Amino acid sequence: MGLAFVAVVTFVCLVVLKPGHNVVGKIMSRAINLSHGMTVGSGDGFCEWLEKDLVHLAGVVRESGGKQSRRSGLKGSVTGLKGAMAVLKGAAIIEGEIAFLESQMEKLNASPTYTHPKLGFHIYDRNATGWLNVLYKAADVRRNLLASRLDPSVFRGVKIHQLQDGIPLYEPEPGRVPKVEEVADVLEGMTLPAKVFHGYKVYILPFSMGEISGLGSEGYMILGAPPADFRAYENQIAYTIAHEVGHHIHMTFLGVTYEENPEGWDEYMDIRGIPMWTSGGKVNSEGWFRSTEETFAEDVRVLFGTHQAAAWPFGTVYMDPREDQEVAEKLKIFIDRLIDSW
């Protein structure tokens, strides 16, 4: 499944997993400190960290008075002035904390769990991803508070059990969170030019997205686990990784939408016998099965993926390109040329 946006990856906290993995280290000594003072990046403590951070942040807003103090204060009065000063002080604290949180996210992104020595792709394990999750969420709540002038109602919009685009999160099936080693093996086994993988990032979620195994965009993928009480199909991880790399390829070298490169997409659709561009829809919906983008990602999976990745039947309504050797060869040439010409 593809994502048509490029942003700092956002996640939410659901479960705590073991073993621990120290990613960043302790909070640095700084002028503006998060008062709960917990260790950032220490093992699997991100859920507890987020809970305490939200309590701390609510205290900052409460002490500033937020919108409440400005409503009760009279313009020009001592009370109104004190209220305005309290709000300014609260906003200054929050701005400083945003800068701190952003620095911690930069450290995490600059310190992947594994980097391939030749292909140059980066993998972030479940704990690193869990910390990116809560740090981004903590910074995002603060940005929303500043935009609302410290309106406490912002806290009601914090949804811990779903991604930014509304995808719900679930407890993963025990022992089925993807491992760094197996992700690296699948990427290394794909028969694609090396430039496809240079700087590419894979974030392994410490939870499941339900029926959605992964989300792909330009330059990165988010990889989830099967949900609890769910029987994963064989080679699901390999299948998902190769498919999401397909989205990375078309978003990077061809275009996120038809309008970005109509000539290129027309050439692709002509090879595949696709009569018109069809945008993707919700996973396993009619729109998804007819999607031009999903078909492209499936083509990459079966033509360039490992044996395990390509073993699953073709996923959209269009013919598996392997059934027609001429179509398969034209597609390989087309995709190789796209990448080489970039």
- Bridge partner residues of 40 (DSSP): 25
Model pTM score = 0.85
d(CA 149, CA 161): 26
Q: Is residue 125 part of a domain?
A: no
* Residue that the structure tokens 């699997």 belong to: 44
Q: Is residue 20 part of a domain?
A: no
Q: Is residue 212 part of a domain?
A: no
CA distances from 316 to 83, 114, 234, 248, 333 (A): 59, 33, 19, 18, 21
Boundaries of domain holding 251? 233-342
Q: What share of the chain is helix, strand, coil (3-state, %, to 5)?
A: 50, 10, 40
Q: Is residue 49 part of a domain?
A: no
d(CA 95, CA 88): 10
Q: Is residue 287 part of a domain?
A: yes
Do residues 269 and 277 touch, judged by C-beta distance below 8 A?
Answer: yes
Do residues 128 and 23 touch, judged by C-beta distance below 8 A?
Answer: yes
What is the per-residue pLDDT for 79?
53
Q: Is residue 12 part of a domain?
A: no
Q: Is residue 117 part of a domain?
A: no
Residues in the chain, pLDDT under 70: 1-38, 66-80, 83, 162, 164, 231-232, 281-285, 287
Q: Is residue 279 part of a domain?
A: yes
77: helix, coil or strand? coil
What is the per-residue pLDDT for 14?
44
Q: pLDDT tens across 156-194, in order?
A: 888 777 676 778 888 888 888 999 999 999 999 999 999
Q: pLDDT tens across 30-83, in order?
A: 334 565 666 787 788 888 888 889 999 999 999 887 655 444 444 445 456 776
Q: What is the mean pLDDT of the chain?
A: 84
Q: What is the dihedral of CA 287, 204, 232, 16, to 10 degrees?
A: -120
Domain total of the chain? 1
H-run or E-run covering 301: helix 292-304
